[in-house]
Amino acid sequence: MDKVCYIFPGQGSQYVGMGKDLYDNSPEARNIFDQAEEILPGLNLKKLCFEGPAEELTQTANSQVAIFVTSIAALRALGSRLKAEGAFVEPPAFSLEPACCAGLSLGEYSALVASGALEFPEAVRLVSQRGKLMEQAANNNPGTMASILGISAEDLSEVCMETGAEIANLNCPGQIVISGKTESVKKAMALAEQKGAKKAILLNVSGPFHSSFMKDSAGELKKELDKTKFLDPGIPIVSNVTADYEKTAEEIKENLVKQLYSPVKWEESVIKISQAGCNTFLEIGPGKVLKGLLRRINPGLTVYNIETSEDIKKFAN
């Protein structure tokens, strides 16, 4: 019997209208949005997610908490439907109880809630603070990111050493994201293409995330983490920083601090998970970014998107 892994998207997957269908059709999803607004009274989260405007939703301080809440709303709606269908009692070709969880950058916080390591009210406060801290760090250290296609990590590491850019995301074979000061990133883009990269694409982001320029915000995030109650995960969770399983609450907190300024090892994480017998993945939350990455990491993996009530209905049936 196949095992299933729950995976959650990161920043950049937001869009105006996300979560509206879940809110209208699932009491569990509605409760998550309503609860989030009670916890964060200064943010009109439902209006932001359902109506925009896009410019406001895209701001780091807003997009992170919006994506996180939408992802947990989808998770709760899915769990309710599967239990109602008796799916956990008599599973089909694979067990629907997740064997592990993982998330891309911000998505790791959704994975922590799914794994039982973090309660939703604590998590929504923490994610809100994380977004604000990262936006502040980006304002203090202006920079950007770029996606480099068709070059090895080794060759790109040499490019970064020459230009001052840094590797930020190891997403999938042939796709690596770099980060840093805008001048350094643009130099690295040009040099990478000279060294054989197929394409270098400047990303529409507000700062040099997952680079050493985030270390100031990492120190502030640690203070927030120390005030937050974490539990040892009930379901195994794979860390972005280590691409390995985290076993304790302290280990999780330590890696969440490092995550802000360390490369996201997504490709390695997915390989680790699939080697443990997880060949079915549920991408829970807005967008289909992770499905595309998993197809390039291992075309043999099965990925279901859980984004709307219709997705949940089709999957449950």
Alpha helices (H) in 59-166, listed in sequence order? 60-85, 107-115, 120-140, 153-163
* Residue 105 appears among annotated catalytic residues: yes
Question: Which is it for the CA torsion 8, 14, 20, 21, positive or negative?
Answer: negative
Eight-state DSSP code of residue 148: E
By DSSP bridging, strand 278-284 and strand 302-306 are parallel
Q: How many C-beta neighbours within 10 Å does residue 77 have?
A: 27
Half-sphere exposure (Cβ direction) of 22: Cα atoms closer than 13 Å: 34
Angle, helices 120-140 vs 27-39, to 10°: value is 60
Q: Which of 63, 210, 239, 309 is catalytic?
A: 210
317 alpha carbon, distance to own chain's centre:
27
Q: Token pair 């592990």 is at which residue?
A: 100
- Distance between start and end Cα atoms, the chain: 19
Task: State the Cα–Cα distance between residues 133 and 156, nearest whole angstrom.
Answer: 29
Task: State the Cα–Cα distance between residues 176 and 127, nearest whole angstrom.
Answer: 25
* Residue 210 appears among annotated catalytic residues: yes
Residue 187's φ and ψ, nearest 5 degrees, are: -65, -40
Let me know the angle formed at the C-alpha of 44 by 136 and 229, rounded to the nearest 5 degrees: 65
102 forms beta bridges with 7
Q: Which of 105, 128, 239, 269 is catalytic?
A: 105
Q: Which residues are catalytic?
A: 105, 210
